[in-house]
Amino acid sequence: MSGADRPVSRDESIWQRNDVIIGLAMVAVLTVIMLFRGLPLVLTILIDAAVFTIVTLSLNLEVGHTGISQFGRVLAVIAGAFVVGAVPGRLLAFFKGLPYGASYADDAVNYKVVPELSDLLASSLPLSIGFLLFCFLLAAVAGAAVGWLTSRPAIRLKEAYLGISLLAFGDFFMWIGHNWEPLVGGTTAVFVPDPFRVVWGSRFEVVVIVAIIVALLVYLYLERLTKSPFGRTLHMVRDCDLAAAVCGKDIVKIRTQSLMIGSALAAIGGALYVIYAGTTTAIGFTRLTWTFWPWAYMMLGGIGSNRGVVLGVLMLTVARTLIITYRSSLFGFLMAWGIDPMWLEYTLMGLVIILVVLFMPHGLVPAKVESILPADKVRRAAREHGFGETVGG
């Protein structure tokens, strides 16, 4: 039995669990970073980790729990980012009597209008909270719609064909945003009204707290979902869709639901990112950042393991941040040979990925088989039927 499929041992000490050891190691590393580099760098790591945790957990739902070849994760992220960059600000501008049509996305107009809208939000805490929640809701609806759209080829295509189709979808929508200026500014960025202006003196800290809370809620939701009867149905479809169909399961409906839920969550991650950044730039949503990195985080954390995904994202975000921070000071001598240390990020991150794959081929925290019923109920039922001596004592 492989490490990814071994059952949970009830005799396993908490200090022997990979997730506990890695979690404590990450806390220690973040503490050291804070002591030597200051709190701002730690907060930067946490905000990046929170956003990518949301996106990677949504990917894990579709790939790790449902078995869909999702290589177009960027598409749902774009949906959330574009809708937040294009719609809520226009609605505020409409009610305030400011330009809200196609000219809203023109940089000569946008940079004047959006500060007024941010000042309006800063005047009222309830209005700012309502605006933020509206952005998340709007992003989730747009993401779910995109999930339904991408489920159409998922009905007929599998594996490589589906993956290539979803990858093309992502690039298609990114280039629409990049070339159609009225949507989100085209080649220039469109600013997003800032719901955190109301806490301007502590904006960065509040954004980090909100991002962590949203990521935690997504994690708890997916933990509950994947351990529910619906989650077990997803696993059945993942392991053998033919057997699931024989058991009367509607494969098309199940895959559609998984894609819609996953895309809605990924879109919330995209919305959170543009609100934090304050701008929506179409060209910034590339498949490298929003498809490849989530896949790397998921594979290194443990496909199908929600806890593994969280730890994988945190570990690799710390590694990327440290590489970016110290690459020039540690590898500046390479300039004498014509090698710019600025390009070492991908080389060193590739090395980190290779090392983890070599020593932990199933990920940091492999997905484990868990019984549907608690172990004590299984043993009690076994004893009642005369199998007590052969089932766990």
195-247 pLDDT tens trace: 999 998 899 999 999 999 999 999 999 999 999 999 999 999 998 888 888 88
Torsion sign (Cα): 319, 363, 167, 192: negative
Which residue spans within 134-209 are E strands per DSSP? 190-191
The answer to whether the CB of 87 falls within 8 A of the CB of 138 is yes
At 145 the pLDDT is 95
Structure tokens at 260: 């819609």
Query: For the residues 25-48, what does the mean pLDDT come to?
Result: 93
pLDDT at 388 (0 to 100) = 55
Confidence category of residue 116, pLDDT binned at 50, 70, 90: very high
**312: number of Cβ within 10 Å:** 29
pLDDT tens, position by position, 168-189 = 888 888 999 999 999 999 888 8
- CA–CA dist 305, 99 (Å, integer): 47
90 neighbors 309 (Cβ within 8 angstroms)? no
Nearest to 151 by CA among 262, 287, 266: 262
pTM of this structure: 0.88
Question: Which residue is listed with tokens 């990327």?
Answer: 320
Structure tokens at 271: 């919305």
pLDDT, tens digit, 9 for 90 and up, residues 37-68: 899 999 999 999 999 999 999 999 999 999 88
Amino acid 372: pLDDT: 60
**Predicted confidence (pLDDT) per residue in 306-352, tens digit:** 999 999 999 999 988 888 888 878 877 877 787 777 778 888 888 88
The set of long-range contacts for 41-46, using a CB threshold of 8 Å and a minimum separation of 24, is 41/321, 41/325, 43/204, 43/205, 43/208, 44/321, 45/317, 45/318, 45/321, 46/208, 46/211, 46/212
Residue 86 is encoded by which pair of tokens?
Answer: 């294009």
Going by C-alpha positions, the residue among 262, 282, 209, 332 that lies closest to residue 67 is 262
